[in-house]
Amino acid sequence: MSEHRETAQSSSEPSGTTLLSAGSAAPDFTLNEAPGRAVTLSALRGKPVVLAFYPADWSPVCGDQMALYNEILADFREQGAELLGISVDGPWCHKAFAEARKLRFPLLADFEPKGAVSRAYGAYTDTGVSARALFVIDAAGVVRWSYLSPMGVNPGADGILAALERLTPEQRGTKAGASAANAPREGASDSAADRDAGAAP
């Protein structure tokens, strides 16, 4: 299935969208989660992050998609991942929607300048809303998987979970991965081991 590839786009993709591809550095951003409370992507370094861009609060497909992610939030967290929903709705709209749906993860307002973060990820449509796009970002801030769904189709969570499961320990930012990266190779000098540990995977 196309969801299982590193970067996948549907055959009926929204016009004007070309997703940021796997292997790209994830653009940093700071967006409001609620009035007076913001989330910065780079502050989450050290753990995987799932970005779920969606067109609008209150629409039937978006509501079902966010409700599904809320139901399986424990599955994302078992993989050590943080989930962030993003649309061009304002923070007060997000607050009301999250409370009505009892969502337990942040919804971020790509509101002003409108769609700036969505554009940075190639997930903004010519109709003025975010595309229905998913990204898995590793602990170092690199996009490892992305998927663009048709606007009227709930992409589900299987692709996200499969992408998270494929992350290496280093990409997850786990202690096991860090220990393996920092362990000196047999016969290597301390200085060489230090250089290897600092190298990007």
Distance CA 96, CA 56 (A): 13
Distance CA 149, CA 141 (A): 23
- Which of the residues 26, 50, 61, 62 is marked catalytic? 62
Whether 62 is catalytic: yes
Please provide the distance, in angstroms rounded to a whole number, between the alpha carbons at the two ends of the chain: 27
Distance CA 163, CA 149 (A): 16
- Total H helices, total E strands in the chain: 8, 8
Phi, psi at 67, each rounded to 5°: -65, -40
Question: How big is the CA angle at 84 (ends 34 and 132), to the nearest 5 degrees?
Answer: 110
Catalytic (active-site) positions: 62
